[in-house]
């Protein structure tokens, strides 16, 4: 492999910047925070561009800088809240989840997961990403953040423990709570798509 200078042309920068903004906004849910994070990540990329052999390597690198910045910002957002104490939203989600099961821990007849048909064919549609967004917004705030750190920022659960200084059990409980909430929300949106508000 012969390293060649990374082609940081205007078109490439514009494309990558658009993707970075979209990624950062999805994770941070704050347009100006996202804008700042992208700007800083790009500045760092310009400073180091000569080390990279081509676009793909550069893009991966710029995005890992961006990911680190996003994780830092999330840590700051989460730090203000006592993660070990359940919020009212968490408690209410917990009660909803408890109520899915009978005393023996089996699914209640009416809450047993439904057959979702063939979701694979719908996987790449914009509609599903919108539904996912709506459902993420309905989760308790920190529950959604921890879930997104795991599934979208793709951190290992141990990295989440360390970053937020919480127990691995709390991370796993929270991820489970998030998944229960999300799959129930997806199921209700799936069964009655007329309710999707956009």
Partner 1 sequence: MLSCKQAARLMSDAHDRPLSLKERLQLHLLYCLGCRRYQRQLRFLGQLCRQIGFSHFSRDD
Q: How far apart are CA 172 and CA 49, in angstroms?
A: 38
Contact positions toward partner 1, by CB under 8 A? Answer: 19-20, 22-23, 26, 55-56, 59-60, 62-64, 67, 101, 104-107, 112-116, 119-120, 123-124, 128-129, 132, 150-154, 157, 168, 171-172, 175-176, 179-180, 182-183, 186-187
Q: Is 116 helix (H, G, I), strand (E, B) or coil?
A: coil
Nearer to partner 1, 63 or 90 (CB): 63
Q: Is the dihedral of CA 116, 192, 146, 95 positive or negative?
A: negative
Nearer to partner 1, 33 or 80 (CB): 33
Q: Can you give the C-alpha Rg of the chain in angstroms?
A: 20
Q: Report, in Å, the least distance between residue 67 CB and partner 1.
A: 6
Q: Report, in Å, the least distance between residue 161 CB and partner 1.
A: 11
C-alpha distances (whole Å) from 10 to each of 22, 41, 81 are 18, 16, 41
Nearer to partner 1, 80 or 173 (CB): 173
How many residues comprise the chain?
198
* Nearest in space to 7 (alpha carbons), one of 70, 49, 63, 48: 49
Q: Report, in Å, the least distance between residue 105 CB and partner 1.
A: 3
List for the chain the helix, strand, coil content (%; round to 5): 70, 0, 25
Q: How far apart are CA 100 and CA 105, in angstroms?
A: 9
Q: Report, in Å, the least distance between residue 88 CB and partner 1.
A: 23
Q: Report, in Å, the least distance between residue 83 CB and partner 1.
A: 17
Nearer to partner 1, 59 or 145 (CB): 59
Nearer to partner 1, 33 or 153 (CB): 153
């Amino acid at each position: 492999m012969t390293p060649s200078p990374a082609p940081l042309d205007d078109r490439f920068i514009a494309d990558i910047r658009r993707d970075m903004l979209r990624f950062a906004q999805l994770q941070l849910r704050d347009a100006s925070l996202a804008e700042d994070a992208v700007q800083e990540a790009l500045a760092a990329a310009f400073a180091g561009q000569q080390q990279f052999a081509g676009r793909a390597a550069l893009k991966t690198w710029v995005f890992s800088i961006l990911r680190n910045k996003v994780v830092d910002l999330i840590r700051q957002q989460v730090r203000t809240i006592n993660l070990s104490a359940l919020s009212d939203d968490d408690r209410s989600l917990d009660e909803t989840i408890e109520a899915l099961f009978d005393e023996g821990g089996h699914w209640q007849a009416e809450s047993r997961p439904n057959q979702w048909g063939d979701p694979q064919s719908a996987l790449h549609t914009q509609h599903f990403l919108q539904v996912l967004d709506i459902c993420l917004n309905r989760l308790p705030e920190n529950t959604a953040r921890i879930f997104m750190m795991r599934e979208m920022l793709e951190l290992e659960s141990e990295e989440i423990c360390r970053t937020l200084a919480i127990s691995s059990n709390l991370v796993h409980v929270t991820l489970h709570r998030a998944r229960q909430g999300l799959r129930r929300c997806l199921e209700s949106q799936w069964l009655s798509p007329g309710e999707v508000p956009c």
